Amino acid sequence: MNEQKFSLQPFASDNLLPDVQITGNIARNAHQLAVTYNLLGDLTEIIIASPSDTPTRKHELWEDTCFEFFVGIVDSQRYWEFNLSPAGHWNVYRFDGYRQGMQEETAFTNLPFLVEHQANLLALNLSVDLTKIVSSEPAIDVAITTVVKQKSSQISYWALAHKGTEADFHLRDSVLILL
């Protein structure tokens, strides 16, 4: 098993919340990828969707607080974007190259994950079988990201690194985890 801890950094902005951090860990065991996010601190100014009784695949989850990660095959332009809402809604998109050929990934018909919400913690745990999109042999690179929407409607963008002049989660240069 290959496991790594992470800490996300906000993109430089005037609308950052003080006393908030995003940490977690990611692990790959053959075809299984497990990701845990911990949004910690004063969450009172963050919009966090209430859990849904019927979580479904939805588009544009990134317009609200949303945990995301990107999986790419090393030495390939193809990658996948996973979006996970605290409400339980989700989506997976496939790209042929940098922001090109975006299509809903139909290999996934559901994407169950657990969300825990306490006063100073929002935790999300996901375990996903990657054999639906990539075999267990090739190395993958992973970018871990989060969109945080504040009650003021301001949005902050969190990632392992920000290599562009604007917040851009699709930049492969910002991918820092190899599994």
Q: Mean pLDDT over all residues of the chain?
A: 92
For residue 46, give both structure tokens: 């963050």
What is the Cα 40 distance to its own chain's centre? 16
Distance of alpha carbon 170 from alpha carbon 70, whole angstroms? 8
Residue 15 has pLDDT above 70, yes or no: no
Distance of alpha carbon 71 from alpha carbon 170, whole angstroms? 10
Specify the DSSP class assigned to residue 164: S
Q: What are the tens digits of pLDDT across the range 35-58? A: 999 999 999 999 999 999 999 999
Among the residue ranges 43-57, 84-98, 114-128, 154-168, the one predicted with the least confidence is 154-168
Average of per-residue pLDDT across 5-18: 83
Average of per-residue pLDDT across 72-79: 92
Distance of alpha carbon 44 from alpha carbon 92, whole angstroms? 29
pLDDT of residue 173: 79
Instruction: Go through the domains of the chain in sequence order and give each one's CATH number.
Output: 2-178 (2.60.40.1190)
Average of per-residue pLDDT across 140-153: 94
Q: 140 CB contacts (<8 Å, ≥6 apart)?
A: 28, 71, 72, 73, 74, 130, 134, 178, 179
pTM exceeding the 0.85 threshold for the entire prediction: yes
Residue 130 burial (CB count, 10 A)? 18
